[in-house]
Structure 1
Amino acid sequence: MLPDTTEVLIIGAGPTGMALSIMLHQAGVDHVLIDKLAQGLQTSRAGVIHAQTLEALQPLGVTERLDELALKLQNFAIRDRNRALLNLDFGKLPSRHPYLLMLPQNLTEQVFAERIAALGSVIHREVEAKAVVQDADGARVTVAEDGRETLISARYVVGADGMNSLVRSATGIEFDGAAYDGSFVLADVRLDWPVGPKEVSLFFAQAGLVVVAPLPDGSYRIVATMDDAPEKPGIADIQALLDSRGPTSRRARVLDLAWSSRFRVHHRLVRSYRKDRLFLMGDAAHVHSPAGGQGMNTGIIDAVVLGELLGDVVNGVRVEAELDLYETLRRPAAQEVLELAGRMTHMALTRNPVKRFVRNLLLSLMNLNPLLKRRMALKLSGLSRAPLARLPAPSRVPGSIAPSKPAAKPALKLAA
């Protein structure tokens, strides 16, 4: 049963909402997590977890299980058909997690959901937020469950409810940016793949961009631009994408298609992450091209930072004004991610022969410079943005004694 009051109401139980729920539970903060869907994703969507994200997730008790379920890769390459322009080695990252962790988003969400259950918390599904109103003391959210509308009063409300966020609409905060031309194709396929299963490959071809990334079950994630993609791209569509953009020395062959979809990509960033008692995170705050696999990772770290801040404020460790640190840290991080993904997408979509030649030359020269290659790997892994996820020491509330936080429970073991 839904409570009618809570300290924090989280709207949206994707990876960001669930990560925030785990943080708040471990801090002993009363909260409610709702989602309008009956169940989590059954398709894979995001497919990579980067080193900075794994480090941020360590206190949540999920990193070990994510490691067990995933495929660990060290190699990332930018290619122009048969030619490797830039090879990056993630095995040399200065991290406890020197690799790209390849794991479909539905499995990431499963690990998070099982962790929530192990902590004794719950995801309230098939509960849709309909309206959000706030005043000086908190916020009131109208929710619909089983055809009946009720009110939940919360001290804080967090919108983890995606690009079309109800919470963002309630704040009135502008979501600056635009949509990319054309559409993107996303698919998981079985492949006879000449590059092999040990590299994530980003192909720059005159026809457009295609990413081919191995997944732990032996399938491959395909992400590609397509001017007029069908709603459900078929095997022939994926084969045509690889024929026109992938290697030519030995042709890739699509053997089977698990699932596919078409989507539009935007590059947008909110002007503010907070309006009084309403907060935004994940896709509600920033969206961008999938190039570099940064979206889910950036949102998860939003959740970890905001979770620590809300926990400290509710527990009396920080004054409420320190909630402004959330935007101070996370908006610049999102701005960097948008610029990185945007540059990679722009480079990939360049069709002018002269610009393509210059691009390929610059990437080849970068490939000869270990310092530049390391810098690029740090950007893609998120480690270069680690300071933007690190909170300063709290300013104690005068005369208060901060309660101790409950220790995190051990990571849950799931069936593979």
Structure 2
Amino acid sequence: MRTGIRQTDVLIVGAGPTGLALGIDLARHGVDALVVERGGTLTPGSRGKGLQPRTMEVYEDLGVLDEILAAGGPYPVGMIWQDGRQAGEHRMFDPAEDGEEGSRFTGPWMVPQWRNQEILRARLEQLGGSLSFGREVTGIEQDADGVTAHFATGEPVRARYAVAADGGRSAVRRALNIGMTGETVDPDPLLVADVRIAGLERTWWHVFPPAGEGAGFLALCPLAGTEDFQLVAQFPDGTDLEPLLTLDGVRKVVADRTHLAAEAVTEVGWSSNFRPRAALADRFREGRVFLAGDAAHVHSPAGGQGLNTSVQDAYNLGWKLGAVLGGRAPESLLDTYEEERRPNAAAMLGLSTAIHRDEARRGAKTRQLGLNYRESSLSEETRPAPGEIRAGDRMPDLTVDGVRLFDRLRGPEWAVVELEDGVFLVRPDGYVGWAGDSTEGLEGYRARVGA
């Protein structure tokens, strides 16, 4: 064993929702993991504020649902303004019926990302997980036994595996020379900020369409659980947005594009700018290092898929690392992470881009309940005539013998579920690994995957 180097089973680089969710899941599996963050605090700003129904199910399993529900609220209806007058309502998301797709959640739940991260951090620390700030990765080395990470300050860390969850400009991904293939979704840059505005009704998501040729839209969304609004404003390609990232700059934008006076903006808590793009990493794994979240895929924010797809990455990888590190599964199980997650990330990128370009609606696909791993090598369907639920599908939240199925499935273990149309072995992440008409062949599958 090396001396003078901190040892851990899994090093997670990045303390956003991806890294924190993965840290929580690994802690549930008894894995010693360290989450490191280059900044001195959690990343500020509302950023990815929408949690889709599938992510809410994941959060319930991770033990943070009550806090997430208390911290947020449903999305408001959009109100379109023209010349200082309310011109009509706009519903951003297609509604779902109660119980549709076998879920108790019917639409996105709004929680500012900074608050989401606070809740995840508290749960990580409750489970005994480790989080270290001010740790900027400067180099990654790996060999047959593990990974060594070097930092701008502080001692190196030696881990059996590492996960890059350090965002779209991932230092770890660049150190591994993993390319990203993508495109600019929209050449027009966006300004986004968390602002306080006096005298603006919080019942609506206020939308101000472009006032003339060459102008862009402005939207003010009341952030649930806070007194802030998230401001998003579009500008023509080539506009320098840096001068607008101040209180005076935001005031000018609001006064120019709405009926509100500049002084109505009383505070800017956080601001940023970006150009919407979509990109997918060429691979999600290099040896003992995995990519997750924005380090692996970058989305337009229009579809509300980026953060949610990222949390699904963590939920898929966590139980697999736990099984391998715990000696319950062969190392080859980790190959299924890229096999399962990269195609799903590609599909969600396509959806996000289509929504941004008004080529698709925010409907059932954005809720992510229908995503499946039917083509995965982990999915074994043995029935000659499969029913509605197949191997690779998310197990719906059914009521069986008066008991809510998700109450039985909660926790980091595999579970056998017997229904009228078959027997199902459900993975720790809630997807059906094996399905049969009876239990014949089940034990062979268990032995193969370490279930």
TM-score, normalised to structure 2, is: 0.71
Q: Which amino acid aligns with 2:306?
A: G
Cα distance in structure 2, aligned partners of 1:178 and 1:311:
35
Cα distance in structure 2, aligned partners of 1:330 and 1:100:
22
**CA-CA distance at 1:25 after TM superposition:** 0.5
CA contact (8 A) 1:57 1:304 kept: no
Deviates more, 1:303-312 or 1:128-137: 128-137
Cα distance in structure 2, aligned partners of 1:19 and 1:110:
11
- Partner residue of 1:213 out of 221, 233, 246: 221
Partner in structure 2 of residue 405 of structure 1: none
Cα distance in structure 1, aligned partners of 2:183 and 2:450:
47
Matches within 5 A, 1:159-174: 159-174=164-179
Determine what percentage of the aligned residue pairs are the same residue: 30
Cα distance in structure 1, aligned partners of 2:166 and 2:42:
13
Which consecutive residues of structure 2, in runs of 5 or more, have no partner in the other structure? 373-392, 395-428, 435-444
Q: Secondary structure at the match of 2:116?
A: helix
Q: Which amino acid aligns with 1:92?
A: E
Matches within 5 A, 1:15-414: 15-73=17-75, 75=76, 77=78, 82-84=87-89, 88=93, 90=95, 92=97, 94=100, 95-146=103-154, 150-179=155-184, 180-191=186-197, 196-200=201-205, 205=210, 207-215=215-223, 216-227=225-236, 228=239, 229-234=241-246, 238=250, 251=259, 254-265=264-275, 266-347=277-358, 376-385=362-371, 387=393, 391-393=431-433, 395-396=445-446
CA contact (8 A) 1:318 1:396 kept: no
CA contact (8 A) 2:198 2:266 kept: no
**CA-CA distance at 1:83 after TM superposition:** 4.6
**CA-CA distance at 1:18 after TM superposition:** 0.8
CA RMSD of aligned residues (A): 3.2
Across the two proteins, how many residue pairs are aligned to each other?
Answer: 367
Cα distance in structure 1, aligned partners of 2:284 and 2:207:
32
CA deviation digits over 1:294-317, x for unaligned, max 9? 222221121111112111222233
Q: Which amino acid aligns with 1:296?
A: L
Deviates more, 1:151-160 or 1:335-344: 335-344
Partner in structure 1 of residue 388 of structure 2: none
TM-score, normalised to structure 1, is: 0.77
Q: Which amino acid aligns with 1:183?
A: P
**CA-CA distance at 1:183 after TM superposition:** 2.1
Q: Secondary structure at the match of 1:127?
A: coil
Cα distance in structure 2, aligned partners of 1:87 and 1:143:
43
Alpha-carbon distance change, 67 to 339 in structure 1, aligned in 2, over 3 angstroms: same
Alpha-carbon distance change, 332 to 78 in structure 1, aligned in 2, over 3 angstroms: farther
- Structure with max Cα Rg: 2
Which consecutive residues of structure 1, in runs of 5 or more, have no partner in the other structure? 348-358, 364-372, 403-416
